[in-house]
Structure 1
Amino acid sequence: MVRIGFWQAEAVAKHIEQAALEIARATAEKIKGEAVNRAPIDTGALRNSATVTKIENGAEISFNTPYALIMHEKEYTPSHTGTGPNYLRGPLLEEEDKFLEDVRKIMR
């Protein structure tokens, strides 16, 4: 049986936490890339406004135009195939299982 002393357990927990943070941030970049591809395109301003911001416990993905929320939530017929509403939500939900599996792997 392997025993881990308290001081070692703290180090292991810190390592897992840091690895999970890196996975979250890398996943956010991947989601942003796919969301940009699915975002409606007219002038390109919406797509060009996409950012990933590092926050304490992960990352935040945003599109920074006055109409980003409306274009994300409103139902409409897109002018280009493969674009349209829910351009951020779709990729986020699609990556969820992979993200969780990646985090599980580092805990093994």
Structure 2
Amino acid sequence: MTQRGRITWNGAAALGRMREGALRGVQLGAEHLLQVSRGRVPIEEGTLERSGVVSVDEQSVTAAVSYDTPYAVRQHEELTYRHDHGRTAKYLEGPLHEENSAITEIIAAQVRRSLR
């Protein structure tokens, strides 16, 4: 007994959906990083913490988390400053390394979801 079937490959549509999922994942992953890093930002008045934002470049499917105050870089890099308990220098770099697996899984989950 011979069976026949026909498969139609919609490669362009599949790639488009994967890209949409990746964009969504990159956005959510960056927002996760922002949330974790906000918990470590040195805080006195909260200005630095409130200045944190996520920006996504859809063309390159990349995201950035940034803090926008005149002293953000100095607070991040200066290891000798004293901070309140739980607040620290490297408030963005540390969480980026620590949350790498979680961020990767967030992106992967969104790509998988987009292909359903």
Match of 2:20 in 1: 18
- Any gaps of 5 or more consecutive residues in structure 2? none
RMSD between superposed Cα atoms in Å:
2.2
- 1:1-108 matches, cutoff 5 A: 3-5=7-9, 8-56=10-58, 57-105=61-109, 106-107=111-112
Instruction: Report Cα offsets for 1:27-61 as digits up to 9, x if no partner.
Output: 11111111111000122211111111232223221
Give aligned-pair identity as a percent. Answer: 28
If asked which structure has higher relative contact order (CA below 8 Å, sep 6+), I would say 2
- Any gaps of 5 or more consecutive residues in structure 1? none
The alpha-carbon deviation at position 24 of structure 1 amounts to: 0.8
2:94, 2:74 → 1: CA distance? 16
Greater fraction of residues in helix: 1
Instruction: Report Cα offsets for 1:40-94 as digits up to 9, x if no partner.
Output: 0122211111111232223221100111011111102433111111101111122
How many residue pairs match? The answer is 106
